[in-house]
Amino acid sequence: MLPRRIFVVFFTLIQHSGIFAKGSAPVYEDPFDIAAGGASLTRASQAGMIFSNPALIPYGNGFHRWFGNEATVIVGKDSVEFAKTLQKGNKSSTDTPAEKQVKFIEQVMKSPIHAGVLNNFAYINKYFGVSTFNRGEVDIQAKKYGDTGLPAIRFRAESYQGVGVSAASMALTQVVSVGATAKYIYAGEPDLAIDLTDQEGIKKLQSKSGLKSLIAMNTGLGYDAGMLIFLQGYNSDYRLALKADDVGGTKLKGDGVLKELKQVYSIGLGYTLHNGIDAIHLSLDYRDIRKCYDEALFKRVRTGVKFIVRKHLGLAAGYYDGWPSYGVELDAWIVRLTGSYYTRELGAKPGIDPRKVYALGLTTGF
């Protein structure tokens, strides 16, 4: 009985505004692109280009672009610190059982649990790309005082999985490329909370229909379109990207709350300094120009820099959700290792409700 109570206490019949949701971001983002502030309209990593901007596909050397699998584990810094605290607490012998219980409860109240996974398997050539993808994150936060002034727990999650198929080509000249992505997705964004004393809410959620309404995934078919203007020089390049996500709106069907991914327009600027094997790419994205998701400006403006050294070492830095982000990648031919550190801001302003996140990825392919 106890495990069941622990499970259902994470849910409620009260629906909150979905700040922890996809919003204006692509349905899938490569973690190295996130480390560069999430500014990926003018330059994206491997399978990330299918969802960031399919117009990037035609540019590169040769016919083949990429074939392989990427798997990434996401864990919140607070979750790591909480685990360390529990380990230290188990070794302590000075506190009484009652004191340990009080400290445990206090730590739970100030240590949100955040974790997730990213995965894609993709093939990309000069004209075509296909990717099966999975992106899921969950956030659980306990509060001493919820909306009613009583102790509460809030559960937020996002899950997107499916298939993306892209086609792209250079339009008329080597300067302009266009591309489109069709994506069939399963999507859900539950954002719920419950007072620990709300026995009626817990009782309702114990029913089969109550739980189904909260964890249901909706399905839909959507389309993205992109364009890239690429002015290439001997040592420097200029890029201008235009992108429309979810053209006409992606309607979702099912028992879940999420019913539509809105159409958004975005613009990106990029500048690259390079030689034959090294490059520095500066990028700036302005997403959701019409503010269809009603996100604050700090969530819609992404900026960052990528350093590519000898084609095998990458360093990235930027601003993501109004916070600094950092990352590194090591490309050892068929094995690629990535590590990123960034912050997801769940509040209306930077510093309100941040989640500092580690992302560790392993990619195999060529």
Joined tokens for residue 88:
């230290």
Residue 140, pLDDT score: 87
| Phi and psi angles of residue 324, each rounded to the nearest 5 degrees, phi first | -65, 145
> What DSSP string runs through 46-102?
TTHHHHH-GGGTT-SSSSEEEEEEEEEEEEEHHHHHHHHHHHHHHH--SS-HHHHHH
2-365 architecture in CATH? Beta Barrel (2.40)
Residue 193, pLDDT score: 77
Question: If residue 43 lies in a helix (H) or strand (E), which one and from where to where?
Answer: none
Residue-range domain boundaries for the chain: 2-365
CB 296 within 8 Å of CB 282: no
User: What is the tally of helices (H) and strands (E) in the chain?
Assistant: 8, 18
Joined tokens for residue 261:
């991914």
Q: Which runs of consecutive H residues, i.e. helices, occur in the chain?
A: 2-8, 31-35, 48-52, 77-91, 97-110, 199-205, 208-215, 297-300
Residue 9, pLDDT score: 38
Residue 288, pLDDT score: 97
CA distances from 364 to 50, 148, 171, 270, 330 (A): 18, 49, 32, 28, 12
Reported as a single tens digit per residue, the pLDDT across 130-179 is: 999 999 999 988 877 666 667 777 888 899 999 999 999 997 788 999 99
Q: What is the mean pLDDT of each run of 10 residues along the chain (366 residues)?
A: 39 47 91 97 95 95 94 93 69 62 62 93 97 94 70 86 97 89 94 72 58 75 97 95 97 91 97 95 98 95 97 96 97 94 93 94 96
> How far is Cα 2 from Cα 30, in angstroms, rounded to an integer?
39
Residue 173, pLDDT score: 82
Could you tell me the end-to-end alpha-carbon distance of the chain, in angstroms, rounded to an integer?
50
- Which is nearest to 43 in space by CA: 340, 339, 306? 306
pTM: 0.86
Reported as a single tens digit per residue, the pLDDT across 30-87 is: 999 999 999 999 999 999 999 999 999 999 889 999 999 999 999 999 888 877 766 6
Residue 315, pLDDT score: 98
| 222-235: burial string, b at 16+ Cβ within 10 Å, e else | bebbbbbebeeeee
